Amino acid sequence: MSFKQPRSVLVVIYDQHHRVLVMQRLDDANFWQSVTGSMEPDEQPFDTALREVLEETGIDVATLGYQLVDCAITNQYDIRPAWRHRYAPGVTTNTEYVFCLQVKSGQTIALSEHSDYLWLPWREAAQKVWSQTNREAIKRLAKAWGEDL
């Protein structure tokens, strides 16, 4: 069995109206999130982010002329107990690299790993996402837009 790497990316996708894309996980209807995904061996965070955006949304960043931005934020968090079997024995924490991506309003989304998606104002998106690191990434982005938190 091949274990997942305890390193991942989080990509907050938003449009020019500051609506944030959130997606509902297939395996947990109460779990909404931004694009996330584990790094492959020998893969760099930026490359993982590009791959995961394409896999989870169908957005080809380079082809569409978008710019993926490294937020220069790294988070550490405990892996959910229900998911620890995916990692090598004894691995309980994950390192997450944060990115953001602005797309055009009305950008087509092609889901492959999620059951539904919503474009929400940043406050609603921050409330809807399950993980604290996802919530904080959305709030940091809103602060960069000059929004009052």
**Binding site feature residues:** 4, 25, 36, 52, 56, 113, 131
Token digits of residue 67: 């710019």
Number of domains in the chain: 1
* 1 domain-assigned: no
* 103 domain-assigned: yes
Q: Mean pLDDT throughout 98-125?
A: 97
Q: Mean pLDDT throughout 114-138?
A: 97
Q: Name the band, by pLDDT with cuts 50, 70 and 90, for residue 1.
A: low
Q: Mean pLDDT throughout 118-143?
A: 97
Q: Mean pLDDT throughout 8-21?
A: 98
Spell out the SS3 assignment of 8-20. EEEEEEEECCCEE
* 72 domain-assigned: yes
3-class secondary-structure state, position 56: helix
* 115 domain-assigned: yes
**Binding site feature residues for substrate:** 4, 25, 36, 131
pLDDT tens-digit readout, 31-86: 999 999 999 999 999 999 999 999 999 999 999 999 999 999 999 999 999 899 99
pTM for this entry: 0.96
* 2 domain-assigned: no
Q: The domain that contains 50 carries what CATH number? A: 3.90.79.10
Determine the structural domain holding residue 24 and report its residue range.
7-144
> What pLDDT is attached to residue 52?
98
**Binding site feature residues for Mg(2+):** 52, 56, 113
> What pLDDT is attached to residue 149?
79
